[in-house]
Amino acid sequence: MLGLMKQISKAELFLGFLTIGLLGFGGVAPWVRHVIVEERRWFSDKEFAEVLGVGQILPGPNTVNAAVIIGDHFQGPIGVLLCLLGMMAMPLVIVTALAAVYYRFASIPELGAATSGSRPWPTSSLPWVSRLSPCSTGRWCR
């Protein structure tokens, strides 16, 4: 599905998605794009928009579907496993640590402020989404 014939190693796939998982506060979507398109340049905005589009209409979380598609494209089924493992590993560790801490210190108001202060973040999927739209209509790309 992706035209690019670039070779991405298994290690690179895993590390890339590990980074995405580590950074993905409020949702990984903006970081999937930042790491894959801008930082590591695995493929272009247009190709990425296609992957996300397919991920959207399929059941399941869009970014998880994107990880499946990207992993399979570069390294087949092993790639899929590496991408998913990479993306989920740190979040799982962090979320359980957070939960343990939260219930211990539930009365600290800063925690409440921190959790609600990081929540407007999901809405910033908006701007990077509009960055993609000129690409997907094929008119001009960054």
Partner 1 sequence: MTGVLAELARTFATLSLVSIGGINVLLPEIRRQVVDVHGWMTDAVFAHTFAIASAAPGPNVIVVSLVGWQVAGWPGLLVATLAIMIPSCILAFFAARVLARWSDSRAVAVIKDALGPLGLGLMLASGVSMVRTVDHDALTVAISVATAVFVLTSRRNPLWALAAGTCVNIVALHVG
Q: How far is the CB of 11 from partner 1 (least distance, A)?
A: 21
Q: Report in angstroms the alpha-carbon separations of 140 from 46, 134, 137.
A: 10, 6, 8
For partner 1, the closer CB: 9 or 99: 99
By rule CB under 8 A, what count of residues binds partner 1? 78
Nearest Cα neighbor of 52 from 121, 118, 122, 135 is 135
Q: In sequence order, what are the residues at sequence separation of 6 or more whose Cβ sits closer than 8 angstroms to the Cβ of residue 63?
A: 27, 28, 29, 32, 55, 87
Pick between residue 9 and residue 122 the one whose CB is nearest to partner 1: 122
**Residue 113 beta carbon to partner 1: minimum distance, rounded to whole angstroms:** 4
Closest among 103, 65, 110, 102 to 83, alpha carbons compared:
65
Classify the C-alpha dihedral 128-16-94-61 as positive or negative: positive
Output 12 or 85, the one with its CB closest to partner 1.
85
Does 131 sit near partner 1 (CB under 8 A)? yes
- Minimum distance of partner 1 from residue 24's CB (angstroms): 4
127 binds partner 1 (CB under 8 A): yes
Residue list 18-77, contact with partner 1 (CB under 8 A): 21-31, 34, 38, 46, 49-50, 52-65, 68-69, 72-73, 77
Please give the radius of gyration of the chain, using alpha carbons only, rounded to the nearest integer.
17
The owner of tokens 């801008």 is 38
Binders in 87-126 for partner 1, by CB under 8 A? 87-88, 90-92, 94-96, 98-99, 102, 106, 109-110, 112-126
Question: For residues 9 and 123, which CB has a smaller minimum distance to partner 1 in the complex?
Answer: 123
Closest by alpha carbon to 82, among 94, 63, 93, 67? 67
